[in-house]
Amino acid sequence: MGIIAVTGASGFVGSHLVRLLCDRGERVRILLRSQFKPEILNNLELETVTGDLRNRSSLEKFVEGASTLYHVAADYRLWSDNPQELYDSNVDGTRNILEAARSADVSRVVYTSTVGCLGIPNDGTPGDESTPVSLEDMVGHYKRSKFLAERVALDFADNDLPVVIVNPSTPIGPGDIKPTPTGKVIVDFANGRIPAFVDTGLNLIDVRDTAMGHILACEKGIVGQKYILGNTNLSLAEILSILAGICDKPAPSVRIPYSIAYMAGMFSTSWANVITHRPPGISLESVRMSRKRMFFSARKAVQELGLPQSPIEQALTDAVKWFVDNGYVSGHRARL
């Protein structure tokens, strides 16, 4: 049985991918930045290697003897006191791990990008893998670093490393420990902390389908191709309405104008940059990203890979239940 190496195993998507691989009886090796395995992985049989994407030499042992590499890890922050850190991990780190994989003769690589690197049509229709886009379209350091990292992965695919790229949309479901920005929206709503909303939209997918999409991309994907791992396009108002039914709470009816949200983000981010040097309550980058609805079509992945399309309402229900069961929500009256 070949070794399957996974970076980002302690993250939301990565942990679900590792669990799914283990359930399939695979021999899984994960990369950790410290010798301590996160609690979410404690009940899994895993090989662990201590290393850092920014240190090429530490990655050689990690990929040694591996037949497959899933590079899921990324520095996912919409604000940083030192933005260069995102480029060091996301761009240079991707180059380092792919160079190590090529030297180790890894036979298959799945690189986890994001729909944030893809184009969005101006006419409001969903974007897909072929929608034109450039670096100038990327809002903020996270998107710019991931766009550049995707370019690195495509370059390796063009130069004899069998890389397939997946572009997850917005995964939701149980096990969102950090939580992700969308998970935080769910938690804040359940705790009654969202009195109003902005006019934006997202493509949601069950995180478990995202994990399966990685495996399907490995098994069926074409080298050098991109596959959107997504499901349903919903406005934020529609998402909050679904959560209202799950949580038995009223959905907010007040829509915040973009100009007001922009000013709040600018003030909050400036305060973080100059005074606190801690993540702002409202990052300007997240506000700027919300100006366009992040709607995408996963038709290619559904047709070519067989990407599952589990009901989004169930994924949101499972997310709420997990947050309640793990102490993220107080005084909850959800009908689960």
Question: Is residue 290 situated within a structural domain?
Answer: no
Q: Measuring CA to CA, which residue among 95, 94, 307, 312 is closest to residue 214?
A: 307
Give the pLDDT confidence score for residue 254 in this predicted structure: 80
Residue 156 structural domain: 3-172+205-231+295-310
What is the rounded CA–CA span in Å between residue 38 and residue 7? 13
pLDDT in tens, the chain (336 residues): 689 999 999 999 999 999 999 999 999 999 998 877 788 888 899 999 999 999 988 999 999 999 999 999 998 887 677 889 999 999 999 999 999 999 999 999 999 999 999 999 988 899 999 999 999 999 889 999 999 999 999 999 999 999 999 999 999 999 999 999 899 999 999 999 988 878 889 999 999 999 999 999 999 999 999 999 999 999 999 999 999 999 999 998 887 775 665 576 566 667 656 677 677 677 656 756 666 788 999 999 999 999 999 999 999 999 999 999 999 998 654 445
* Per-residue tokens: 37: 């395995």
Q: Measuring CA to CA, which residue among 55, 68, 63 is closest to residue 96?
A: 55
For residue 36, which phi and psi values (nearest 5 degrees)? -95, 120
The CA-based angle 218-216-183, given to 5 degrees, is 105
- With a CB cutoff of 8 Å and minimum separation 6, the contacts of 112 are 8, 13, 70, 71, 72, 74, 166, 168, 214
Question: Is residue 155 situated within a structural domain?
Answer: yes
* Per-residue tokens: 205: 């997918």
Say whether 222 sits in a helix, a strand or coil. Answer: coil
CATH at 124: 3.40.50.720
Give the pLDDT confidence score for residue 334 in this predicted structure: 47
Question: Is residue 68 situated within a structural domain?
Answer: yes
User: Total domain count for the chain?
Assistant: 1
Q: Measuring CA to CA, which residue among 126, 123, 145 is closest to residue 135?
A: 145
Helical (H) or strand (E) element with 311: none
* Per-residue tokens: 313: 């309402």
Question: Is residue 269 situated within a structural domain?
Answer: no
Give the pLDDT confidence score for residue 80 in this predicted structure: 76
Give the pLDDT confidence score for residue 289 in this predicted structure: 62
Question: Is residue 92 situated within a structural domain?
Answer: yes
**Sheet of strand 27-32, all strands in order from the earlier edge strand to the far edge:** 47-50, 27-32, 3-7, 66-71, 108-112, 163-168, 226-229
The CA-based angle 17-50-58, given to 5 degrees, is 110
Residue with tokens 């791990």: 97
Give the pLDDT confidence score for residue 335 in this predicted structure: 47
Q: Peptide bond preceding 121: is omega within 30 degrees of 0, i.e. cis?
A: no
Question: Is residue 121 situated within a structural domain?
Answer: yes
Question: Is residue 335 situated within a structural domain?
Answer: no
Question: Is residue 258 situated within a structural domain?
Answer: no
